[in-house]
Amino acid sequence: MNHNDHVGLLKEADLQPGGAWADLGAGSGAFTLALRELIGPTATIYAVDKDRASLKELETAYARRFDDVSGLRPMAADFARALHLPRLDGVLMANSLHFFREKQAVLQQVRTLVKPSGLLLLVEYNVDKGNPWVPFPVSFKSLGGVVKRAGFGEPRLLATHASSFLHEIYSALAHAEGT
């Protein structure tokens, strides 16, 4: 996949420009760059990952693509634990949820990060059986119950992209529910 594919997976979310977002499990930033392209230069993106080297790669790629890193806030942290962030307009989790067997607990933690009107934007493999590299994927068909029990509404399928690795990748959007 390339940058245009990453943007294509997120584009149908029709995100508003600006705001405060987090990319949880950002890695070297393929989807962080796509998110930034869609929400623009006035947005703040907290790129959270345990791997400091990947975050450095992300900073370099971000600066090269956008000539300005003022809206990027890299954070070396484990997003499954409490994070000290302002209330967010949205959270992106691209290829990170499949590392957790207990998805509901992780998503409940994520729900505490977003505003009552906040968004959860997911990119995942569209299968329910994993492998050593993608141990606990969740298909779109299985996603609804998990996100609803975590405090989000019914997810909406945004896009799919063929994958030679595990059939296909999908993107989905869910709105936070309650306060």
Q: What is the pLDDT of residues 30-59, one digit of tens each?
A: 999 999 999 999 999 999 999 999 999 999
pLDDT score, position 135? 85
CA 135 to chain centroid: 18
Within a 10 A sphere around the Cβ of 82, how many other Cβ atoms?
Answer: 11
Confidence check: pLDDT of 1 > 90 = no
Structural domain that includes position 134 = 3-175
Find out whether 174 and 153 touch, Cβ atoms under 8 Å.
Answer: yes
pLDDT score, position 39? 97
What pLDDT, in 10s, does the model give residues 93-140?
999 988 888 888 899 999 999 999 899 999 999 988 888 888 889 899
What pLDDT, in 10s, does the model give residues 62-92?
999 998 888 999 999 999 888 999 999 999 9
Give the CA distances from residue 71 to residues 21, 85, 89, 118, 156, in Å, rounded to whole numbers and listed in that order. Answer: 10, 14, 14, 19, 28
Q: Domain tally for the chain?
A: 1
Between CA 134 and CA 117 the distance in angstroms is 30
Six-digit token string for 34:
């796509």
pLDDT score, position 60? 95
pTM: 0.93
The CATH number for 89's domain is: 3.40.50.150
CA 89 to chain centroid: 12
Between CA 41 and CA 3 the distance in angstroms is 17
pLDDT score, position 178? 67
Confidence check: pLDDT of 179 > 80 = no
